[in-house]
Amino acid sequence: MEDIGKGNAANKAIYATYIYGFLTGYNAYNQERQISTDLVEATMIAYGNKYCSAFPLNLFSGVAMGLAVDLGGKPVPWKK
C-alpha cells in the first residue's frame, strides 16, 4: 500500500476521516469498552503508514481496527 502521508491535504483528510469514523462506530458498537477518539490527523496518518509498512497486503480497514486495538479496544467480529 502507498504511503498515506504523501499527497495533498485532501487525501490525508480522507484517510483520517475514515479512521475517525471507524473509531466512532467501534465505540457505538462496543459500549462497554470505549476507546479514545481524541486524535489529531497526523497521529492517524503516522499510525496508518506504520501499519501499511508492516502489512502491505492487508486492506486499509485493517489500519482502523489495528488502531482501535492499540488504543485499548478488543477485536470485534464483523457479525454479531
pLDDT by residue (tens digit) across 21-78? 999 998 898 888 888 878 888 888 899 999 989 999 998 889 999 999 898 887 666 5
Read off the C-alpha cell for 51: 501499519
Q: Which residues contact 75 (CB under 8 A, 6 or more apart)?
A: 65, 69
**Sign of the CA dihedral running 35, 39, 41, 44:** negative
Query: Given a cut of 60, is residue 80 above it in pLDDT?
Result: no
Query: Given a cut of 70, is residue 79 above it in pLDDT?
Result: no
CB atoms near residue 64 (< 10 Å): 23
